Amino acid sequence: MDTSDAPVKSQRHCTPLRYCLATTFILLLGAVAFGMVVRPSGPPPAPPPPIVRTNLTTNQTLVFDNVATAPTPAPATQSPTITTTQNPTIYVASCFNGEVDGSESDIDCGGGECAPCPVESACAADADCGRALWCDAYICSAFPETGSPTSAPTPTPAPTPTPVCVGALRISGSAFESTHAMLYVHANKNSWSTSDDRCSSNALVKIRKEVEKPVGEFLLEMEEGNYAIMLVDDKDDDGKLDTNFIGMPTEGCGASNGASGGAFGGPKWKDAKFQVACGEETYVQINLWKA
């Protein structure tokens, strides 16, 4: 049978085109669904164990979750402050020899060239002592509890001496029988009246000297003021005026202004006193007498 002209049935493989596209899409959906359903076999992995830390200082135990976290950025560090010392202090070599020399106030300290001195060291000024110390009576001492040093007492200046005005006193004694003269100059009534013969040790001026007889001369410089004089011819050179049993002198004696005593004692102050003037010469003549 000739079948060349018989109609040929169309093949259904990928014909028409829409069937091929539909088949492809269905296959893709199946693959996706299969991937979503399939899971690994077995139980899920256990979480990592926590991290335990013990603070040895406070004996506290701290527990941390072993979970990876984003690292915390370290705080920004500030640039360190650098302090530089300008012009460092340089001490001289003598400040380290264990001796007090140079300008030092104590061993290897003080004086401006060496380090300040510690407490209880010798000092001449506050600058010789270390911090919180001061120079008290030439010793480095701590400040008192009040917080400030006791002020050193201000020295009282010595009073200015009043200029002394003097005058010359020339004394002449006559009728000396020997060369042994004793002169007593009194400056007040109390010293004049301490003995009857007025040859008292309380006299302001006491002079024993050799003179030319019969006239003895004396020249003194005295401050201006009132004075009285007793002059004795110490014939026996025993340093005292000799008298008889009733107290009358047996050696030559005399008082200024010619004052004389009597039965009740020697010459009076008011009769014998005279004045020495400033810058002038005063002349006193004394005539010696005896019983």
Predicted local confidence at residue 243, as pLDDT: 87
pLDDT of 64: 53
% of residues, the chain, pLDDT over 90: 30
Q: Where are the domains of the chain?
A: 91-149, 166-287
Contact 234, 177 (CB under 8 A): no
Mean pLDDT, range 72-78, rounded to an integer: 59
- Residue 133: how many other CB atoms lie within 10 Å: 22
Tell me, rounded to whole angstroms, the distance of Cα 69 from its chain centroid: 68
Is the pLDDT confidence value at 60 over 60?
no
Q: Looking at this protein, which amino acid is placed at residue 27?
A: L
Whole-number Å distance between alpha carbons of 211 and 283: 18
CB 50 within 8 Å of CB 65: yes
260 and 290 in contact (C-beta within 8 Å)? no
3-state secondary structure of 126: helix
How far, CA to CA in Å, does 265 sit from each of 193, 245, 290?
10, 14, 14
d(CA 220, CA 169): 5
pLDDT at 31 over 80: no
For residues 195 and 198, what is the distance between their CA atoms, to the nearest angstrom?
A: 5
Q: What was the pLDDT predicted at 171? A: 93
pLDDT in tens, 178-217: 999 999 999 999 888 877 678 877 889 999 989 988 998 9
| Arithmetic mean of pLDDT over the chain | 78
Rounded Cα–Cα distance for residues 164 and 187 (Å):
16
Residue 135 tokens read as: 């120079």
Q: Kindly state the tokens that stand for 28.
A: 């893709």
Burial of residue 158 (CB within 10 Å: 0-12, 13-18, 19+) is exposed
Is 166-287 assigned to CATH 2.40.128? no
Element (H, E) at 217: strand 216-223
pLDDT at 286: 93
Round to whole Å and give the CA distance between 182 and 177.
13
Alpha-carbon gap, residue 210 to 64, rounded angstroms: 125
Residue linked to tokens 């009040």: 146
The token pair at 105 is 């106030």
Backbone angles phi, psi at 140, to 5 degrees: -65, 120
* pLDDT of 279: 92
- Give the residue from 284, 165, 161 showing the smallest Cα distance to 221: 165
Give the residue from 182, 170, 186 showing the smallest Cα distance to 270: 186
Residues 6+ apart with CB under 8 A from 260: 267, 289
Distances (CA, A) of 250 to 108, 140, 291: 79, 73, 6
What kind and span of H or E run contains 220? strand 216-223
Q: How confident is the model at residue 117 (pLDDT cuts 50, 70, 90)?
A: very high
Residue pair 92/102 in contact by the 8 Å Cβ criterion: yes
Top-confidence residue, 54 or 181 = 181
